[in-house]
A = this chain, B = another copy of it.
Amino acid sequence: MDQITVFAPASVANVSCGFDALGFCLETVGDVFHIKKTDEKGIQFKEIIGQELPLDPKKNVAGVAAQALLNQYPANCGFEITLTKGIKPGSGIGSSSASAVGIVYALNELMGLGLSKRDLLPFALEGEMLASQAAHADNIAPALLGGFTLVRSLDPMDIASIPSPPELYAAVIHPHIELKTAEARKVLSKTVAFKDSIQQSANLGALVSGLYSADYNLISRSLEDLLVEPKRAPLIPHFGEIKQAALDAGALGAGISGSGPSVFALTQGKETAQKTANAMAHVMQATSIPFDAFVSAINSQGTLTMNVDEIL
């Protein structure tokens, strides 16, 4: 194999009650890597399409993740990379994570290293750290592994894959405002009420139970965030209205995707997801803020090799 095309999907982290731990993988929206082996060693970004990002591999997430892998597994060739960014950086649906996981997945395939997806996570994490200045795997784990994932621990890395019920869909709206992860971290309290902490835990435990047992009502009741959403909601214009519109449209729950500004909703069924996306879009249409909105099934596959025939 001397070249490969890889799709690395967007993802939703935190999922209301699962701050820094829970995440799920989206379909369709994501980054596409096309990577060719070259005689000259090293990583070279030929082009980044769709977004203005530095081509210097030391300064972009994919380059740092790739270098982390190559430091441990030196290659006897180089790599020429074309990255088509389908995810806008800073949108809150795991843009940096997709770039980090896509490239390490591709290099593992191209070099025939035979590493498992789980083996690749630490290298992707190094790339992710460049973007968010904090190590967290709640986007890289679902983007790479697919489905829902729960990061119990980063060191040592301990990640549980959690099944998702067949009828679960997501609706996502991305208001085009800038909201830096670091800024969104600043508003969080250093301490929280014991009582709220216990309720948040119970919600996460119950959400995991609801996902395993395909109990959509339990999922709905558990999608409640006492600790983070109250702090971050003011950073996202019209968040309250967007969330209410989603719930009124029949969503099981809605909240901030990652550190925002995207807002996600989970629904039972694709039709309700579409109705929910429309309702959230309707709120944004009444503002002057540009946005995009989409609907997605839970992507159970995560990062994958694309059939090149398909894209030629």
A residues apposed to B, CB below 8 Å:
17-22, 150-153, 158, 160, 162, 188-194, 197-198, 200-210, 212-213, 215, 218, 221-222, 227
Contact = CB atoms under 8 A, between A and B. Distances in A.
B160 A210 contact: yes
Contacts of A191: 191-194
A150 B190 contact: no
A198 B19 contact: yes
Contacts of A192: 191-192, 194, 197
Contacts of A206: 150, 152, 158, 160
**Among all A-B residue pairs, the 9 with the closest Cβ atoms:** A197-B197, A152-B206, A21-B202, A212-B212, A208-B208, A160-B209, A201-B201, A204-B205, A191-B191
Contacts of A207: 205
Given A209-B208, A212-B209, A222-B152, A197 B158 contact: no
Contact of A202 (B153, B193, B203): B153
Nearest to A156: B221
A188 B221 CA distance: 27
Contacts of A162: 209
A204 B190 CA distance: 21
A221 B158 contact: yes
Contact of A194 (B17, B188, B202, B204): B188
A89 to B, nearest CB: 25
Nearest to A18: B205
Contacts of A221: 152-153, 158
Given A158-B221, A160-B218, A197-B200, 7 more contacts: A17-B201, A151-B202, A152-B206, A197-B197, A201-B204, A201-B205, A204-B204
Nearest to A138: B202
28 contacts: A18-B202, A20-B198, A21-B198, A21-B201, A21-B202, A21-B205, A150-B205, A151-B202, A152-B206, A152-B221, A153-B202, A158-B206, A158-B218, A160-B205, A160-B213, A162-B209, A191-B192, A191-B194, A194-B227, A197-B200, A200-B201, A201-B201, A202-B204, A204-B204, A204-B205, A205-B205, A205-B207, A208-B209
A244 B205 CA distance: 27
Contacts of A197: 192, 197, 200-201, 227
Contacts of A160: 205-206, 209-210, 213, 215, 218
